[in-house]
Amino acid sequence: AELVYQTTLNLEADFGKLARDKVCTLIIIEVHARDIIDSFLHYQRYHLSVVTPPEHTFEILPEQKDWDKSEVH
């Protein structure tokens, strides 16, 4: 935030304190929005690239193969 204020000093001199405050606020919002978007994209890339490990796959046991052919009692 301090860097934003330092780089917008001329705005206050030319357009007033309110203009400078508005520009600083918009810059800070944009930076935070980019951080959030980057975090989301990183999260999506990580979770889309992860392959399900073998211990989490489902295996059909021999006694379950014909479950649909059995009679319902």
Is 66 part of any domain?
no
Cα-atom radius of gyration of the chain, to the nearest Å? 29
- Torsions phi, psi of 59, nearest 5? -120, 135
Residue range(s) defining the domain that contains residue 49: 2-54
Query: Is the Cβ–Cβ distance between 11 and 23 less than 8 Å?
Result: yes
Residue 31 has pLDDT above 80, yes or no: yes
pTM for this structure? 0.50
Is 61 part of any domain?
no
Is 20 part of any domain?
yes
Is 68 part of any domain?
no
Residue 28 has pLDDT above 60, yes or no: yes
Is 71 part of any domain?
no
DSSP 3-state percent helix, strand, coil across the chain (nearest 5):
75, 0, 25
Is 72 part of any domain?
no
Is 43 part of any domain?
yes
Number of domains in the chain: 1
Is 70 part of any domain?
no
Percent above pLDDT 70 for the chain: 62
Burial class of residue 63 (count of CB atoms within 10 Å of its CB; 0-12, 13-18, 19+): exposed
